[in-house]
Structure 1
Amino acid sequence: MTDGRAERRGGTWIGALLVGCALVSVCWLVLGVAVAVAQEFAGVAGLTPEAVAASDVWTRGLVAGMPHSEPLSVLIPDAALTVLVLGLAGALLVRAPRDPAQLLLGTALAASPAAFGPQSDAASEVLATVTGVDGVAAVPRFVLPVVACVAYVLALAWAPRSGPLCRPRTWVVAAAVSVAAAALLSAAFFPDSLRCVLLVGLVLPLLGIAGLRQQLRASTSERLRAPARLLFGVLVGIVAVGAAPAVIIGVVASLSQQGMAVVDWTTVDLSTLSPAQGPMVLWYWTARLSLPAVAMAVLVTSRGSGAVSAQRWFSRGVVVVLVTASIGCLYVVVDFLSARFVFGGKPAPPHFVVGTAVTVSALAFLPVFLLTERAADRLLYGTRPTPYSVLAELAALPRATTGGVPDLAGVAEAVGQGLGATTCRLTVHRPGLRDRDYRWVRPGEEEAETSLEVPIRHGGQEVGTIAVDRAAVAGADDQRQDLLGAIANSLGVVLQAVRTGIDLERELRAAVAHAAEIADARRRVVAEADSERRRIERDLHDGAQHHLVSLSLTLGLAEYEVRAGRLEQARARLDQVVGQLDTAEAVLTRTATGLSSAALAERGLVAALRDELGQDPQVRLDTTGVTVDRFPPEVEAAVYFCCLESVNNARKYAGGAPVCVWLHRADDHLLFIVEDEGRGWDPETRSDHLGRGVRNMTSRIAAVGGHLDVRSAPGAGTRVEGRVPLGDPEASPPAPRAVPVPRPVDQGPTMARPAGDH
């Protein structure tokens, strides 16, 4: 709570200082414009010495300021620049009324027109005459420059962070005190224009460059580093643009052997300036424009991620400014030197001078441009690996781990370190699965909020993406972004290998699961066969064996009756033997049912189904989709059993509803469907919907590599659908033999039934 009140009080005081400085600058601007207009039209207004002596105090003040006034050629751009500067100061105040950095920068902007404007002395003379206070001139000459310079230094100390007002660091205090002293000394010895050049065009940008350089090295987040880098580049551009006229001034002054007189260039006619003073005027306006440039950069950096997204275009802008300043400076120097040549006692012709300057500038453009690109990139982003070294390190990485799968986490780290990035993310598109990300964040850094993402392709298909923070690919040219594209192209094979490994792993798991299912089905078949053998043994022991023993006893009695001569009794015993034979035959037939099918063994699946189901009016058999007579014996047995079992269950539980059996061969598979129109059942409400019959059918179909699906719903009947793979259908059928098939009648239902039905 206390910190919040202190922050609000600090913001209020700075805001009040900003408004006060803006009012002073507006007052000085109005008075300066009035003096310039009065000077321009002094004869029209009749301001003669006699008229001035008899006029009011304001008229006398305007006349007193005329000797210090600038010409209209300087007033018009100065007034336009003052309006721009005051508008930016107001925008900073409205946009961030509690941000100390922006308020301090707005204060520096608001104080600069009156502190460094060429019309300040004229406005001061007007106020001194009107008020009778001689010390009025000290406000724009001493007070406002100190306020502007100190506020500028403090603003740059807080600007990248835009945090609450806090105690400044030692170097910030030292810089503020030093610049205040420099402002006072320059005010005492130099005119307004030269003070502006020295302070605003040189001292303040150099202090800002030194402070922002420290912040760039100390920042651990790209969110803080990006705005500091942007401001740093603006200040570098200001110094470079100011250095160009300084070089020109030095060359011209040294070669012309003229003394450098300290002249206020804005108070004289531009046509009377010497060759060395023309560039000084340019330097002055460059210094005046530096404050609005810094203010606009601060506004950009305060827009959340604006500084991060603007880095690429901003870097190019810095290169353009530096190249323009360098080539322009070279052109002027060469032009001046060429003009000093003498041909036959005559000065060099103009076309020679211009042609020489243009030729030298054109030849120097490309080397200067490339050198400036590298210098700007290193200045803004530090020393970064070259594209070749990054690709070489990436190619030298081991392509696989011990498991045979590429180590994408290591690839992400290598790419991030090679690009000098703080964040690198590799994403693999996995067919049928969620994408998998591999992230790397530089130790001690925060993960970047925004990133540049590039697709990774292989064979024309997008297999993944790679993303790095924008600062890693930002630069004065497209080489960094092209490098990311080249890395993405080189990673296409790696990511495709990962995708292939994932597909192989999935297929392997599916094959293992299918093999386990087949093994389980085979175990169940063996168990069921053993159970069937025991049933047959039991039936033979309890049924057929009993009848055969009884038949043996009856034959023995018949033999006894014949020996005894009782033929009638022997005949009766033989009739009893015939009856017992019929009974034994029936018992053996019932016991052998399910062990073999003669029709299936001799004529195949279709004929056996027709013999078994063709005479039932409730069953419709459709085998038109089968074009071959025979299939592998194990396939015929499994399908035959499932069809009979399904039809038998439909007869029992479908309530006399029609039943359809459909058989069809599709390429290398045999399909069968048994569907009834009965009342159906709900699998969700039956805990035993996979009864013994369904399990037996599923085991049989799985044993031959097939799949069985049972579907039912209340009121929609039941559908049993099977699919069995085939071998070579054109192969000759095997020799007829007995084919074991399960018993369809006494096996039990396959559909879901209430608990207890087995």
Structure 2
Amino acid sequence: MAVCGVFLLRLRHPVAVGWFTVVGTGAYYLLSTVDGPLVLVPIAALYGLASSGRLRSAVTLGAVMIIGVGAGALAGTGDVNGTAVFMLAGWLIAVVALGAVWRGRVTYAEEEAVLRATEERLRIARELHDVVGHSMSLIHIQASAALRRLEKDPARAAEALTIIKVGSREGLRELRGALGVLRQVDEEAPTAPAAGLELLDELVASATLTDMTVTVERTGANGPLPPTIDLAAYRIIQESLTNAAKHSHARHVVVRLHRGEDHLRLSIEDDGRGARPGTSRAGGSGIAGMTERARALGGTLTAAPRSEGGFAVRAALPLGAGETTRERSTS
């Protein structure tokens, strides 16, 4: 009864309960003439130790049980023989191995959950950086222009303020869409269109409001892109235009998109002042975020000053990555 009763405390004191059940069971079989399935209790405690990660304690207890039963067989008690000891050893090894395997599966599942949560946080951080960074850069540039023109050219100042109003509204719309992944189950999904290359004309129009000319060249096949590729391409172009206006002070930007059989290739080149060798042009996580986007889809991205002046961002996104990412997210 004591052995069975103390088993209820295995979750709070697993090692102590394991030793008590082993010693108590051994004492029972030595002192009692009535046989019974009491040996199942220490075996269950042994599995509990192995499945909770206490493999060393489990192996030690298993060895003690085998040695104790083996000593009884050698003493010639008549209750057990060599075959019984061999079978018991096999059962105990199997129990410990099964517990260790279960612990490994639980640990792997926990690590996988942490990894998925980390990836999701990074994805949300990239979305927020791209949305807020682009909108705030536009607002900053136009606000500076409005302050300079406020006294000398009120009409142009009013135009800049209008651009700020439009840009802030669009930024809020995209921000709500990005935060939609955090909405409660009973909230309505955002009705605004998801960011993608279909909105490229609007993105270019907002960039031209900063007195920067943007030219778009499309080549290759037509047709819809996988959603993940579509979003990544849009965000890369958006971040590149933001950097061109904010850091490079470019006057002209050329955006080239080529859709091949296997890849979507992007090239964003500007005529700005670029960056000094060995320095980060954005001074933040913009280029790093673009690179992470491309790598997450199995693609590549390079960002560096051009030899003839200005800055260039080039990316290659595999078109098959959209389906792979979607399958992984639903698995």
Q: TM-score, normalised by structure 2?
A: 0.40
Report the structure number with the largest CA radius of gyration.
1
Q: TM-score, normalised by structure 1?
A: 0.19
